[in-house]
Amino acid sequence: MGTGRIGAFHARGLRESPLVDRLTVTDTDQDRAARVAASVHAELADSPEALVNAGVDALVIAAATPAHAPLLNLAADARLPAFCEKPIALDLPATDDVIEHVQRAGTLVQIGFQRRFDAGYRAAHDAVLSGAVGDVQAVRLASHDPSPPPEEYIAASGGIWRDLAIHDFDVAAWVLGRPIVEVYADGEANAEMFARHGDIDTACAVLRFEGGVLGAVTATRNDPRGYDVRMEVFGLKDSVAVGWDDRTPLRSIEPGVQPPRAAGYRDFLERFETAYRVELQEFLEAVRDHRESPCTVTDARLALAVALAADRSRHEHRPVRIEEIG
């Protein structure tokens, strides 16, 4: 459901999976859906309802954000397992309505926080869980887009905290195995089009995790060197970094240090191509094997609550406890 950039990418991944026997696509833009269907030899449905009634076993929801909640409710009513790109919705009441609907139906739902399925983040998660890094003292995270998205995207995105930094909020809590309990955030709209929509293009947040671990997050919409997503974990036994490789879009100016040997990542699809494929494969395996979701609707709610707290913190210029959000 949805055949835009990420939807077309998922359609290709589904077609290549040995677990998929038949693929059907749909989109409100029927011409685009027809092109994608032809490219992956899929069937074409003229509506989400028609797709559900076509006898499918599971759904992948890659439509625009406003469609996520209605489509998840449609999946729950049909008792179909569903994978859905983040977020469920941009506010907690709509999110909670979907969660209640899904829980009543008892269906599997996996939310698309693809960083959990990236090899580097998984290695960091394992290093923390095993005790290899020792007691964690602090973490640093960065999510920097190479250039701003179109203004029509910004208008409906929910803002930088809910659209971009929400990935950091989710994966930081997942890697550390402890929730974020407080956030203190600030930001700046350096480009007028962000200010027009009450958004910002440069953001910073200080996180406090359960147990006293501290974290720092930066998120920007402009990075001249490329798409830059990293995480650093500092423990009493070791310090580890995720996203540090030959294509990291960061240049050292220390004497004798060579610059990166390859161009920076162009965008999120290139940086996380493998992670996107792994998360979808794990969804298919969870459906086949009747396993629990590796990224639940409750996980998605927790990340959204932190994003909402960050937004409130920026506007009110104070630390905000996550429990204030609900």
CA distance 184 to 193: 25
Q: In the prediction, which pLDDT does 50 show?
A: 96
Looking at residue 326, its pLDDT comes to: 84
- The CATH class of the 5-107 domain is alpha beta
Domain boundaries, the chain: 5-107, 117-266
pLDDT score at 111: 98
Does the domain made of 117-266 have the CATH classification 3.30.360.10?
Answer: yes
| Among 78, 76, 79, residue whose Cα is nearest residue 88 | 76
**Alpha carbon distance 21, 15 (integer Å):** 8
Q: Match 């989400």 to its residue by tokens.
A: 48
State both tokens at 37.
């269907």
| pLDDT computed for residue 146 by the predictor | 96
| pLDDT for the residue 269 | 94
Q: What integer pLDDT is reported at residue 306 of this predicted model?
A: 98
Segments in the chain below pLDDT 50: none
Its pTM stands at 0.96
> Quick check: 2 and 64 in contact, CB under 8 A?
yes
Q: Output the pLDDT for position 260.
A: 87
